[in-house]
Structure 1
Amino acid sequence: MFALLRRRDFALVWTASLISATGDWVLFIGLPIYVYQLTGSTLATSAMFVAELVPQIALGSVAGVFVDRWDRKRTMVVANLVLTVALLPLAFVRSADLVWIVYVVAFTESLLARFLRPAEAAMLPRLVEKRDLVAANSLGAFAANTARLVGPTVGGIVAGLYGLGAVAAVDSATFLIAAVLVTVVRTSGAPDRAGIVDVSAVAAGRMRACWHEWVDGLALVTRSRTIRVLFGLAALSSLGEGSFGVLFVVWVNRVIGGTALELGWFMTAQAVGGLVGGLVIVRITRGMSPRQVLGVASVAFGLLDALLFVSPLIRPEIVVSLVVIGIVGIAGVAFMAGFNAILQTSVDDAYRGRVFGAIFATMAVLRLASTVIAGVLGGIVSPIPLLIAMQSGSYVVLGLAALGLLPREAGRERENLLREPA
């Protein structure tokens, strides 16, 4: 798997993603801690998360239109450079009455990420061969989990010792380094736009053309069974993950009898599992199609989660639960690798930005909905049955649906996705 890093352009983009993702986790941990210390208000802290969520819901799929119109490499470079500058105003937040700057910066960073992340995902199939997409996505998961493991620790230390300005400086520097790395990539990022814009749309002007392309991108959901199924699978995943974010905290407190310390142990154990998964998943899944990887990994993820939730009732030692969630992390890497590989090979290059953007937006909406539902039910029902039903159940159903509904060969419908010119 790591042999892919010998490919110069893939290695550059992968390293850029690793560095910037580490910076994101530094900010993600350091920023809410600092806001809460500054204001003493949970409402003020939660408002920061709302500011980050709004662009995901409102603009996720729309941003994908521009990702498909613009050069993906240039989009990544410009977004990283703008983020380098956009974070610097955080250095001026020294009192509670200036906390509004945090909200503006959080909104701006999330907005630019709507362009950056789909551009990265859409660019990947140009950097590796089709047969290497599962391995490439596994390496991406390895980078994400490395960032998740290192970033929070660095963020907490930097915020505690040097304040918000230092946190912003660290994250800003990571975006600058990422921009430099992507700049020297030689592979073209220009999207293949052949046949996707009809004459009437172009004649009507740029705004109408953008609207037309956005609708055309969303129409892929109705024109392709594969994309419809993938949207459904993403929805199930988001419903599970949104509920997990709320209910797992309750589970740690009520079932384990733990505090924030124990919650941190579980998050670290899952990240370590993700690192291991990034290293071994290609070997484990050798000979399997992306559909099989996605389906088997999803079912395994759900069943392992169920085992995790009931494990304290069988063996109360916390180390048992930590080992189980570590194995869950391995299954999670396989799930994402299989899902992304199918999506990347099933969508034509001209549409990838819009489809990734639409899926990210859909997932954000459903994650918010399931978070609210879990928050209401969590005060009424025990966390164990809720977690099994909403998190474990979602992934088991997801896996069975993937195995039963997705085509055996990824990309088989791709030739039917291009819209006929008007």
Structure 2
Amino acid sequence: MGTTSFRHLWLGQLLANSGDVFYIVGLMAIIHEQTGSAMYLAVVPFIITVAKFSSGFIAPLLLDQYRLKSLLVFSQLAKTLLLFTMQMVTITFSWNLVITFVLVFCISFLDGWATPARNAMLPRLVHRDDLIKANSFVATLDQTVQLGGWASGGILVALIGGNQMIWLTLCLFVISTFFMRLLKDDTEQIGEEDNTTVQSKWQSLKEGWLFIWKVPSIRSIHLIYVFEYFASAVWIAAILYVYVEEILGKDQSWWGYINATFFLGLVIGGLFAVKFAKVVDLHLPYVIIISSFVICLGTLTFGLNSSPIAALFLSALCGFLEQVKSISLQTSLQRAASIHQLPKIYAAQGALLSLVFAVSSVIFGFLTELYSVSFSFIIAALLLFSSGIYSTIKKKLLSS
């Protein structure tokens, strides 16, 4: 598994993913300092989600027409140049919110190619027998970055400020681009697609939507997903940023702590589901129902709580239950659809949930700005309660 190119791939992606986290942390700090608006903070994840959603449509065409290494190098290099441009514009002129949002969209649009390109390249760089080990290793790195990146980013931004975080990200992006450039991929590129193939891709996307809408069990699972993703937007950095400041009365480092405990809960939840897989499998619908109601209570309590220690515990608890529930929903979906239907369903699901999350991020930012951060958590809890009620009504479909 330890080939040189594979090492360059995971090192490059580790640096790039770390830079992505630090860049968002730094940008949030700058926007909050300049505007003090939760609404503007919420626009950032909305822009990022819409940009990745948009680039996802053209990613398959690019993956077919260009070498994966070329896409990885170009994407990372272009992101580096755009981030440098953002800094130069700020230094030369003055900080401008519109220009910042445009550059954020462009950076995220390019970033939408990186993950599919990396996943497609990985089997080319390791032996077939090592694929499971390689995929597990890369997935562990991704989780580690998410777990440690937000915590360390929150602490760093409190120490050095948002602007210096952007410069740190630039350094990581430059080194990441260098590692991407060192990749060696000798696999022959597939020729250009004909019109029939292009047409089949659009037809495949349409079929996924039809499966979701027409099959009762799959439709029920996705309605639960919609409730979940809409409510999950309350955990975005923009809302937590305000929560830490207004409810907990702590500095920005606690934003990182809360994110870290949430991701720690996700990791522990995944390990729990593996350890007690038979028990979860035997009571799959009940796991989904119970977790919905407990997450509802945890979210409501978190939003009304002013104790920092309790906030960390509740954050970890919600992360733990969210992971167990997500695994249960995933299993239900895989059993409800055939292996031939699943790729088309996942394609439509990605588009649907990206839009839901993007819209809900802006809505919760608006509600936080108009009312309070506690009000936003109450609304999220009501959505999760609705999810629990709906799951109870559709219990038989979830076990099909």
Name which of 74, 79, 88 aligns with 2:75. Answer: 79
Q: Which residue of 2 aligns with 1:237?
A: 228
What is the 5 A alignment of 1:4-403?
Answer: 15-35=11-31, 37=33, 39-40=34-35, 42=37, 51-57=47-53, 59-66=54-61, 69-70=64-65, 73-74=68-69, 75-92=71-88, 93-94=90-91, 95-96=93-94, 101-120=99-118, 140-155=142-157, 157-159=159-161, 162=164, 164=166, 166-173=167-174, 175-176=176-177, 179-180=180-181, 183-184=183-184, 201-202=195-196, 210=198, 212-223=200-211, 231-245=222-236, 258=249, 263-277=255-269, 280-281=271-272, 283-287=274-278, 296=287, 299-300=290-291, 303-310=294-301, 318-334=308-324, 358-374=348-364, 375-376=366-367, 379=371, 382=375, 385-391=378-384, 393-394=386-387
Give, as a single letter, the amino acid of the residue that structure 2 aligns with 1:222.
L
Whether the aligned pair in 2 keeps the contact of 1:84 and 1:173 (CA below 8 Å) is: yes
Give, as a single letter, the amino acid of the residue that structure 2 aligns with 1:173.
V
3-state SS in 2 of match to 1:240: helix
Give, as a single letter, the amino acid of the residue that structure 2 aligns with 1:62.
F
C-alpha spacing 1:250/1:19, structure 2 compared with 1 (3 Å): closer
C-alpha spacing 1:133/1:356, structure 2 compared with 1 (3 Å): farther
Give, as a single letter, the amino acid of the residue that structure 2 aligns with 1:268.
A
Q: For residue 23 of structure 1, report the CA deviation from its aligned partner.
A: 0.8
Q: For residue 297 of structure 1, report the CA deviation from its aligned partner.
A: 6.8
Q: How far apart, CA to CA, are the structure 2 residues paired with 1:173 and 1:341?
A: 40
Q: How far apart, CA to CA, are the structure 1 residues paired with 2:226 and 2:68?
A: 29
Whether the aligned pair in 2 keeps the contact of 1:306 and 1:388 (CA below 8 Å) is: yes
Q: For residue 30 of structure 1, report the CA deviation from its aligned partner.
A: 0.9
Whether the aligned pair in 2 keeps the contact of 1:295 and 1:400 (CA below 8 Å) is: no
Whether the aligned pair in 2 keeps the contact of 1:52 and 1:106 (CA below 8 Å) is: yes
Give, as a single letter, the amino acid of the residue that structure 2 aligns with 1:149.
A
**TM-score normalised by the chain length of structure 2:** 0.68
Q: How far apart, CA to CA, are the structure 2 residues paired with 1:286 and 1:342?
A: 14
Q: How far apart, CA to CA, are the structure 2 residues paired with 1:130 and 1:111?
A: 29
Q: How far apart, CA to CA, are the structure 2 residues paired with 1:69 and 1:347?
A: 26
3-state SS in 2 of match to 1:96: coil
C-alpha spacing 1:233/1:47, structure 2 compared with 1 (3 Å): closer
C-alpha spacing 1:157/1:149, structure 2 compared with 1 (3 Å): same
Q: For residue 144 of structure 1, report the CA deviation from its aligned partner.
A: 2.7
Q: How far apart, CA to CA, are the structure 2 residues paired with 1:230 and 1:132?
A: 31
C-alpha spacing 1:55/1:292, structure 2 compared with 1 (3 Å): farther
Whether the aligned pair in 1 keeps the contact of 2:72 and 2:117 (CA below 8 Å) is: yes
Gaps of 5+ in 2: none
Give, as a single letter, the amino acid of the residue that structure 1 aligns with 2:387.
S
**TM-score normalised by the chain length of structure 1:** 0.65
Q: For residue 26 of structure 1, report the CA deviation from its aligned partner.
A: 0.6
Give, as a single letter, the amino acid of the residue that structure 1 aligns with 2:83.
L
Q: Report how many aligned residue pairs link the two structures.
A: 383
C-alpha spacing 1:111/1:125, structure 2 compared with 1 (3 Å): same
C-alpha spacing 1:140/1:243, structure 2 compared with 1 (3 Å): same
Whether the aligned pair in 2 keeps the contact of 1:72 and 1:122 (CA below 8 Å) is: no
Q: How far apart, CA to CA, are the structure 2 residues paired with 1:350 and 1:119?
A: 23
Q: For residue 387 of structure 1, report the CA deviation from its aligned partner.
A: 3.0
Deviations 1:149-199 (A, max 9, x none): 3344345545457474x1442342354256257x2578x697999xxx8x7
Q: Which residue of 2 aligns with 1:416?
A: none
Q: For residue 147 of structure 1, report the CA deviation from its aligned partner.
A: 2.8
Deviations 1:183-236 (A, max 9, x none): 2578x697999xxx8x7x34xxxxxx6465234223223247587666545423
Whether the aligned pair in 1 keeps the contact of 2:288 and 2:391 (CA below 8 Å) is: no
C-alpha spacing 1:294/1:24, structure 2 compared with 1 (3 Å): farther
Q: How far apart, CA to CA, are the structure 2 residues paired with 1:191 and 1:343?
A: 32
Whether the aligned pair in 2 keeps the contact of 1:52 and 1:110 (CA below 8 Å) is: yes
Whether the aligned pair in 2 keeps the contact of 1:230 and 1:343 (CA below 8 Å) is: yes
Q: What percent identity do the matched residue pairs reach?
A: 14
Q: For residue 28 of structure 1, report the CA deviation from its aligned partner.
A: 0.2
C-alpha spacing 1:350/1:113, structure 2 compared with 1 (3 Å): farther
